Amino acid sequence: MTKKEEAALKRQLKIETEMARVEQMCAFEKEYSSYKLICGIDEAGRGPLAGPVVAGACILPKDARIMYINDSKKLSEKKRELLFEEIKDKALAYAVGIVDEKVIDQINILQATYMAMRQAVEKLGLKPDLTLNDAVTIPDLGIKQVPIVKGDAKSISIASASILAKVTRDHLMMEYDKLYPEYGFAKHKGYGTAAHYEALRKYGPSKIHRMTFIKNVEFE
């Protein structure tokens, strides 16, 4: 076998391995295939010190296969951006729900996350028959739900919702960086990095900081 043939074979094996992995990520969708419209739901931004929590909801066609899809946290920014566009292109319906830092401070992050998830489902334009959720059961949704622990790495629908939520939130934080450049939001997206805490102590909180998340920070 020539080096060229060997390289081609390796490429083919990699593609086949990836196709098998993606097929495995459709296991829950196949298990619940008696339901016509299955919606994946996930969130981004429960942990940051600033900015909103964003939920994604995504209904894919039953035959949809998206190469290299995964939990958004396991993907590079470049790969997430490419998948973000492919998911929007292939989805039967998708939406995001956004709940800002003021509401997070009023009702707590868990309730704000549920609110964002309900918003996303309501904005879909299609009513799902079933939702596959990343680890949670959403109160007052009125739809059959299946919570899946680490679902964003196990379900193509949840992974799609995860990417929609993450990329949407990252874009929002990059816009906030233009308003509040001293905090470095474009880089850390509001998470509690050393540089973010340093900026907080130096400049105090911005209008998008979650006050309940930074109550122990000592400002200069």
Q: How far apart are the first and last CA of the chain?
A: 68
Domains of the chain with bracketed CATH: 27-165 (3.30.420.10)
Q: Is residue 8's pLDDT more than 80?
A: yes
**CA-based angle 120:114:169, to the nearest 5?**
55
pLDDT digits (tens, 9 = 90+) for 14-33: 999 999 999 999 999 999 99
pLDDT tens-digit readout, 104-120? 999 999 999 999 999 99
Residue 108 — φ and ψ, nearest 5°? Answer: 85, 160
- The whole-chain average pLDDT of the chain stands at 96
How do residues 111-150 score in pLDDT, each as one tens digit?
Answer: 999 999 999 999 999 999 999 999 999 999 999 999 999 9
| Reported confidence tier of residue 77, pLDDT bands at 50, 70, 90 | very high
